[in-house]
Amino acid sequence: MAKLFASINQPAMAVDAKTKFGPNAVLDKINPILKDKLAREEAKGMKSRPIRAISVGVPNVGKSTVLNRLVNRRAAQVGNRPGVTKGQQWLKSSDKLELLDTPGILWPKFQSQEIANKLALTGAIKENAYSSDDIALYALGKFRETMPAGLMTRYRLTEADLSYQMLTYY
């Protein structure tokens, strides 16, 4: 992922929201990007204002969790389903950084069934918008292909179970 962003010249940092990281790490990343703008404002004698940043992304990827980490409290509501964040609120991370949590966004039409399946699987789409049987079969097929060992451990399956030809999924 870091390579992908580097290849399009997009500053990026990978974080695990479950372990500690703070506003300074983020500000270290943002400040060089805004350097010219901040210098212009200072030259005009404007007093320095906090940087305001918003979270953008598909539902249920951890936006609110990252923001809570940055404000060091549970200000933004978190949940393992899409649509937990409703409305919008500015959160104070430090004197230098304010953050806006937003509900996730999805584009109006998915390019393929594969993309729709993956979004459903990661919990980005509301459960009543798809058939959970179809998505479960899709997941089973996918995991059988990409991580059979993990699948066997998690569901206590044998090799024979995995090679069982019952799956027709689309």
| String of DSSP letters for 141-156 | HHHHHH-HHHHHHHHT
Only segment of 1-9, 15-23, 83-91, 151-159 that touches Mg ion (CB under 5 A): 83-91
Nearest residue (beta carbon) to ligand GDP: 62
The answer to the question of residue 30 lying near ligand GDP (CB under 6 A) is no
State both tokens at 131: 């058939």
**Considering only residues 117-146, where is the footprint of ligand GDP by CB under 6 A?**
none
β-strand pairing of 51-54 with 97-101: parallel
Interface residue with Mg ion among 64, 68, 93, 117 (CB under 5 A) is 64
Sign for the CA dihedral angle at 108, 112, 115, 120 comes to: positive
Q: Which of 68, 85, 93, 117 binds Mg ion (CB under 5 A)?
A: 85
Nearer to ligand GDP, 61 or 75 (CB): 61
Asked if residue 86 binds ligand GDP (CB under 6 A), the reply is no
**What is the spatial distance between Cα 39 and Cα 169, in angstroms, rounded to a whole number?**
57
